[in-house]
């Protein structure tokens, strides 16, 4: 599958490949992290979240990994489909309820 | 469950004019957020409400932007007067617990000419 070690603004994969999108967050005090998918002309759509007491969480075809030591977050999408094509944003916040701070988006393009 | 509703979806105005956006959050959600998303960037918080009280408006340009949530449900965001750099998508989001699992509306795309 395709992966990126550092944040890249775009990622192109073939249908069926696994995709890995990386994100670096800035605030050591953040203890809640969330991935959103945004399609053209739509608002961000919740994908998966993770709290700081975990380092991995799995959903349907998606896995989020959290490395607090280096303040790094990644989203893995298994068997990527054309419908996964969108811009993906990571966001950080805290469980005390402050608003989310969004990272730079990654545009995922899936070709069949 | 109905999602977050926003209107209008699109708005084109000239600089120095006024504009208002409306948001109806998911039923029962106490927390409401307004974000500004400039093309190619992630959303940036403008203001956060908890019921009808302001929790965070530190990034709201208060000389021209205002927002209210009078009855703790619907909210309006106003810009007066608009500048060219206000061209963006204005997103409304709501959550049932402060800061967690925010659900976004479709946004209002504002173009200032």
Query: By percentage, how much of chain B surpasses pLDDT 70?
Result: 96
Taking only the tens place, the pLDDT of each residue in B58-102 is 999 999 999 999 888 999 999 999 999 999 999 999 998 655 789
B73 CA to chain A: closest CA distance, Å?
Answer: 18
Residue ranges of chain A whose pLDDT lies below 50: 1-5
Judge contact between B75 and B69, C-beta under 8 A. Answer: yes
Judge contact between B12 and B109, C-beta under 8 A. Answer: no
In angstroms, the CA B83 to CA A56 distance is 44
Pairing of strands B75-79, B19-24: antiparallel
- Cross-chain residue pair B44–A102, CB shorter than 8 Å: yes
Residue B111: strand pairing partners: B12
On chain A, the residues whose CB falls within 8 A of the CB of B56 are: 98-99
Cα A31 → chain centroid: 16
Q: Which domains does chain A have, with CATH numbers?
A: 10-111 (2.60.40.10)
Query: By percentage, how much of chain B surpasses pLDDT 90?
Result: 87
Residue in chain A lying closest to B105 (CA)? A43
B43 CA to chain A: closest CA distance, Å?
Answer: 6
- Cross-chain residue pair A103–B42, CB shorter than 8 Å: yes
Class of domain B5-108: mainly beta
State the pLDDT at residue B97.
Answer: 65
In this prediction, residues B7-11 reach a mean pLDDT of 98
């Amino acid at each position: 599958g395709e992966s990126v070690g550092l944040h890249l603004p775009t990622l192109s994969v073939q249908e069926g490949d696994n995709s890995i999108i990386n994100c670096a967050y800035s605030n050591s005090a953040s203890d809640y992290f969330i991935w959103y998918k945004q399609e053209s002309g739509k608002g961000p759509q919740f994908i998966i979240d993770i709290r700081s007491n975990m380092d991995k969480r799995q959903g349907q075809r998606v896995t989020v990994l959290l490395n607090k030591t280096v303040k790094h977050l990644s989203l893995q999408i298994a068997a990527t489909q054309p419908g996964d094509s969108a811009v993906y944003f990571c966001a950080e916040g805290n469980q005390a309820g402050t608003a989310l701070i969004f990272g730079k988006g990654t545009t995922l393009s899936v070709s069949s | 469950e109905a999602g977050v509703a926003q209107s209008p979806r699109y708005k084109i105005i000239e600089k120095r004019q006024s504009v208002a956006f409306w948001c109806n959050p998911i039923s029962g959600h106490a927390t409401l957020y307004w974000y500004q998303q400039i093309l190619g960037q992630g959303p940036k918080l403008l203001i956060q409400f908890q019921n009808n009280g302001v929790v965070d408006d530190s990034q709201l340009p208060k000389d021209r932007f205002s927002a209210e949530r009078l009855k703790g449900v619907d909210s309006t965001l106003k810009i007066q007067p608009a500048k060219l750099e206000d061209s963006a998508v204005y997103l409304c989001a709501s959550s049932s617990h402060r800061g967690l699992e925010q659900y976004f509306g479709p946004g209002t795309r504002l173009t200032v000419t």
